[in-house]
Amino acid sequence: MKQWIMVIDVARCHDCNNCFLACKDEFVDNDFLPYSKSMPRHGHRWRDIARTDRGTFPLIDVSFLPWNCMMCENAPCMEAGGDAVYRRDDGIVMIDPAKSKGRRDIMESCPYKAVYWNDALDIPQKCTFCAHLLDDGWKDTRCSQICATGAMKFMQVEADEIEKLCAEEGLQRYRDDLDAKPRVFYKNLYRFTKHFIAGSLILDGECCEGASITVEGNGATFAGKSDGFGDFRVDALDPGEYAVTIQYPGKNPIKRSVKLEESCNLGDISFT
């Protein structure tokens, strides 16, 4: 049977918070039983956006990770919640507002911290993938519908085709080490989870374009080239020790050793 999944492109998210506001607009002061009771106006972010800064000035970037309930295939909240948490045939994980009353353990079981506690109602709450709208024939959640940059796409995929889609499209799960098997997938996740080595190359007092950069370490080799400003960036690196080799025709190669713990800017580098 087809399952609802969400695909989020980290490279497209600009932290505009339209998705967050659309979620609030839909669920604050509105009950959509049997799926959800009203979201509190403050404190809950069923659709949230995390931020990370990488590099040092002037070679830096800021990336944003939209996230919500991951609709996990191996959902820890289902294991904790018993009949208070269930999965619909279309893959959407639901917390029953009536059966979950007083069940803080359901909230505490979520490794993604995507379940919130409603003090006024004494219940755990989370994103429902706008199931009430899907039941009415919608093909989008409010957040994916409003996304101005196309960072979020909502779709149905046959259950046995999900892993194939991930391989073809280069999709990843956030914190896949948790073994929860989320149904929210990410493109360009490296921009949030991995590091880069960057620098600026100078040749005869000018920006050096077209130099070749090789980065070796952690059993892999990565390559890049400097742009028209002499800047280069080799990305998607794990922490570790790397050997950086910079080459330009007719010039002696430049070598650097980098112990990478976070994204690194090697600064201005001149050929001799």
pLDDT, residue 127, reads 98
| Closest C-alpha to 272, from 202, 223, 218, 183 | 202
pLDDT, residue 1, reads 85
For all residues of the chain together, what is the average pLDDT?
Answer: 96
Q: Is the pLDDT at 103 greater than 90, yes or no?
A: yes
Q: Is the pLDDT at 68 greater than 90, yes or no?
A: yes
Third-level CATH fold of 195-270: Immunoglobulin-like (2.60.40)
Tens of pLDDT along 112-158? 999 999 999 999 999 999 999 999 999 999 999 999 999 999 999 99
* pTM (predicted TM-score): 0.91
Which one-letter DSSP state was computed for residue 38?
P
Contact 187, 223 (CB under 8 A): no
Distance CA 111, CA 128 (A): 17
**What kind and span of H or E run contains 242?**
strand 240-247
pLDDT, residue 144, reads 97
Would you place residue 57 in the very low, low, confident or very high pLDDT band (cuts 50, 70, 90)?
confident
Tell me the CATH number for domain 2-191.
3.30.70.20
% of the chain at pLDDT higher than 70: 100
Enumerate the domain spans of the chain: 2-191, 195-270
Q: What is the pairing mode between strands 184-187 and 2-9?
A: parallel
